[in-house]
Every structure is written in C-alpha cells, then in structure tokens.
Structure 1
Amino acid sequence: MKGLSVDLQLVLPELREPMRRAQVSAPRWLVRIAVRLLRVPTSNAVRVTNERTGSTRIRVYQPTSAHSGAALLWIHGGGLLFGDAKQDEALCLSTAEQLGIVIVSANYRFAPEHPFPAAHDDVLTAWYWLLAHAKELRVDPERIAIGGESAGAGLAAGLVQRIHDEGEAAPCGQWLFAPMLDDRTAARRELDALQHFVWDNEANREGWSGYLGTAPGAATAPPYSVPGRRIDVSGLPPAFITWGDIELFAEEDRAYADALRDAGVPVTTDVVTGAPHGFENWARDAPSAKALVKRAQEWLRTVTAPA
C-alpha cells in the first residue's frame, strides 16, 4: 500500500481522515505481525472461540441469546498476502448479534509462500467444518451463506463456484464486499498510474502473481482461482455485491454482477460513491460505512431466513 496521490476531492469528506490513517507502508512481514496482534472489540451478546480443523484456524461467533438457526462462513481480506480473522471482529460481532446467526471466520495460508490452491483449500476446509458441526451449532445447513471482503470475497466467490460444481450442500447466498475477482485487472499496466487509494494496481499485481505463481493475465487460469473468469455462472446462489465507485475493483465487480444477473442469478449491488476500497472496515465508524453495513446485513437476514 502506498501514500496518497489521487485527488482527495473524489473521496467522501467523512472518509478522508480515516483514509489517511489507513494508508500503510511497511514490509509484508511486519503487516502480518501487526494484524495478528490487533486489539479486538468484545460483545456480551456473542461468544467467540478459536478452533482448528487440520492446519486451518477458524474463529467462531455464537449469539448467546437470540439464535436464528442461520450461519455465515466469512473470509477476511488482505490481498491474498496477509490478514487475519480478527481484523473483521467488529463486523462479525455486529452481524452475529444483529441477525442472531453463527459466523465461522476462516484463516488461510498466504501467497507467495503458499500459492493456489492453498488458500482456496483452507476455506473449503472451513466450509466442511461448518457443515460437520451444524447440528451442535444449531444451524440449518440450508441456511448458510458465504461471504468475505476484498481478497476474502474473491475466495468466497471461487468457493461458491466449486461447491456448486461438486453438487454438495449449497450456500443460500454470497455476501461480497469489494471482491478481488479478476487477475486481468492486475495485467493492465495503464491502471498503475491511477494509484488507487488503499489498494492500487501494483499491489494487486503482487497479490495475484504470488497467488497464481505466474504473471497475471495469462490465457488461462486454474478453475476457481479467478472467479471473474468463469464463463458459466448460471445456477449460483443469490449475491450481494458492494464496491466503491473510485476503487480499483469497481470495473471487475460490476462485470461479475452483470454476468450473474444475465445468467438469471438474483443480484443486489450497492455502489458507494466516493468510497475507497475496504472503507467499511477501516472507516467503520463513518456514517456511510455504518449505513452500508446495515443495508448488507438486512440483505443477509433476508437470504438466510427460513424458506
């Protein structure tokens, strides 16, 4: 991540100061340590436990009072290079409490040390763990959604595709915040000059190159590694996709939403004007971020409701 360079007038005024604080310029190893050491909020209405399935670490959020019987598999962001389930603690606590749903938040291995399919296999393992423990968690297997933010949302989209193809118990919806969907964006060198806030195309190229183990934009990519390349998206579950209009992923997110809609998949899009990438996380106290999360949670409430 780099310093500010784009005209601040494009950014919502309420996001400008939080954005300054969100800009990070540090070695990847230091970012990884810092994220793991994050101080996290707490809630008396949600019990948080840490579990492990094989080599995959997961964080489980269980409402202590109201319990809807639904669940969400959540996948954190970090450009496929860093991150931790704890970075989304506020969103997971809020969502579990407001909707009365169980949330399983998955950690996964990072590129470039662990290229595809490592992270993909890790989140698939978390999905199977959730299904295997649905009864003891008091979760209806037919009312589980899959979601994530940024790279995590891209992993979520790829996971939904794989589950669909394998004919297993399908998620009831996909909840995608600013998803990182298409490596071909990283191959577009003309986007480098725009230096998008928070996550620019040079960082994007680093993430995709490490994950794919090759330069982005090749003629083909392994199945499920690049969700935005999938040709046939028919039959996938309903989707909520949100992004900011000034972020790097705006074009690829819009293209994926259009492809889903054209294939007959119910899609709700929520485009926030003047919002840089991931603002609902690093500026979560801003009115625009709170409003987006509320709209997203209402969609999730509806899609996970009993049939």
Structure 2
Amino acid sequence: LMIAGGSAGGGLAAGVALLARDRRGPQLIGQMLMYPMLDDRDATVSTRQIDGVGVWDRGSNLLGWGSLLGDRRSTDDVSIYAAPARATDLSNLPPAFIDCGSAEVFRDEDVAYASAIWAAGGQAELHVWPGAFHASESLAPQAALSHDAVDARDRWIRRLLG
C-alpha cells in the first residue's frame, strides 16, 4: 500500500503516513508527496516570495488553511495529522518522494520536511524543479520540465516496487 497526493492532498497523504505509523497500521511502503501543503504557520521565505503571483500563492494558502483549521490556524491547537510540518518526530515513516517547484509557495516547507525525515534517519527523495510553479506539470504538460517531473515520480515508484 502506497499513499500519494498533490498539494493539499500531499499534506493529507503525509498526515495519513504519520497516523498509520502512530496507530501501527496499515503498513505503507511509500508516500509520494507532490508539492505538498504541510505547514499552516505561513512563516517561510517562499510563502512571502510567492505573494500575489502564480497559480497558488500566499493568499490562496491562507484561505486554504483557514478553511481547514478556522481560528486554530497558526496556533498551538493544530494536529500534526492536519499540518505534518508540525511533527517533531518523523522517524519510522515509509520512504518519501517529495517534489515542488522553485517558484512555489510550498518550496521551503517541503525542503524542510525532507530534511527532517533525513535527520530522523528516514529516506526521502527530494526534487525542487528549477523555475517550476505550483502544479506546473499539469498546467504545462508538454514542457520538458514537466516530463522530467513525471518521469522522476515514475522511476521512484518502480524502485519502490522493486
């Protein structure tokens, strides 16, 4: 069983991986997190940079987190399963594939999440696609970079499945 998701779905997939670990099942062989939305606190450099521009920007992000969490957004009353970047223990998670664009509001939280997995002794394959924006492979599917992103995901799945 592998879990996957993009954007908010990527955040949900990461939350499910944490929940499966904490509840001791189901056993996941991997988690594919495509430009995942992981952190409700809106405190990274990339969220300040991608403000008022792009497909999904800071304003969209604040609206999305506010819709999910309401007044709890950016408070201490947020579950790690809703905002996985808040997890302090990322040990014993299934291998992760994480990708995002360099011109992406989620860039810094995604890089930090991969780094935290590595720091906990886990496996993460991280791709930050140069010049790519949020969900660019679906909005510009013929672009060479979009092909590279999809190919990298496919190769990771093939390696995971052996």
Distance 1:260 1:237, change over 3 A: same
User: How does the TM-score come out when normalised to structure 2?
Assistant: 0.92
Q: Indicate the SS of the match to 1:183.
A: coil
The whole-number CA distance in structure 2 between the counterparts of 1:293 and 1:223 is 28
**Partner amino acid for 1:197?**
G
Find the structure with the greater CA-based Rg.
1
Q: Is the 8 A contact 2:31 2:96 kept in 1?
A: yes
In 2, the alpha carbon distance for the partners of 1:169 and 1:194 equals 38
Decide which of 223, 241, 260 is 2:98's aligned counterpart: 241
1:167-186 alignment, distance < 5 Å: 167-185=24-42
| CA RMSD between the two structures | 1.9
CA deviations 1:205-243 (Å, max 9, x no partner) are 111011012252112312411111001010001111001
What SS class does the counterpart of residue 14 from structure 2 fall into?
helix
Partner amino acid, structure 2, of 1:267: A
**Residue matched to 2:86:** 229
1:75-106 CA-partner distances (Å, limit 9, x unpaired): xxxxxxxxxxxxxxxxxxxxxxxxxxxxxxxx
Give runs of aligned pairs for residues 262-277 of structure 1, distance below 5 A: 262-277=119-134
Tell me the SS of whatever aligns to 1:185: coil
Describe the shift of the 1:269–1:193 C-alpha distance in structure 2 as closer, same or farther (beyond 3 A).
closer
List structure 1 runs of 4+ shifted beyond 3 angstroms. Answer: none
Corresponding residue of 1:211: 68
Name which structure has the greater RCO, CA cutoff 8 Å, separation 6+. Answer: 2
Q: Which residue of 2 aligns with 1:159?
A: 16
State the alpha-carbon separation in 1 of the partners of residues 51 and 79 from structure 2. Answer: 29
Matches within 5 A, 1:68-79: none
Q: Residues of 1 paired with 2:30 and 2:148: CA distance?
A: 21
Query: How far is 1:283 from its partner?
Result: 1.3
Percent pairwise identity: 38
Closer, same or farther in 2 for the Cα pair 1:200/1:239, shift >3 Å? same
Pairwise mapping of residues 1-307 of structure 1 onto structure 2 (< 5 A)? Answer: 144-185=1-42, 191=48, 194-214=51-71, 216-305=73-162
Contact (CA 8 Å) 2:51, 2:59: kept in 1 or not? no
Distance 1:166 1:158, change over 3 A: same
The structural deviation recorded for 1:301 is 1.0
- Matched residues in 2 for 1:148 and 1:266: separation? 18
CA contact (8 A) 1:173 1:304 kept: no
The number of residues matched between the two structures is 161
Residues 165-210 of structure 1 show CA distances to partners (whole Å, capped at 9, x for unaligned) of: 111131101111100000012799x827732411011111111011
Structure 1 distance, partners of 2:160, 2:49, is: 37
The residue type equivalent to 1:254 in the other structure is V
Q: Structure 1: give runs of 5+ residues left out of the alignment.
A: 1-143
Alpha-carbon distance between aligned partners in 2 of 1:193 and 1:232, rounded to the nearest angstrom = 29
Q: Is the 8 A contact 1:244 1:273 kept in 2?
A: yes
Unaligned runs of 5+ in 2: none
Does structure 2 retain, via aligned residues, the 8 Å contact 1:200–1:248? Answer: yes
Aligned counterparts of 1:214 and 1:261: Cα–Cα separation in 2: 32
Aligned equivalents of 2:79, 2:18: Cα separation in 1 = 13
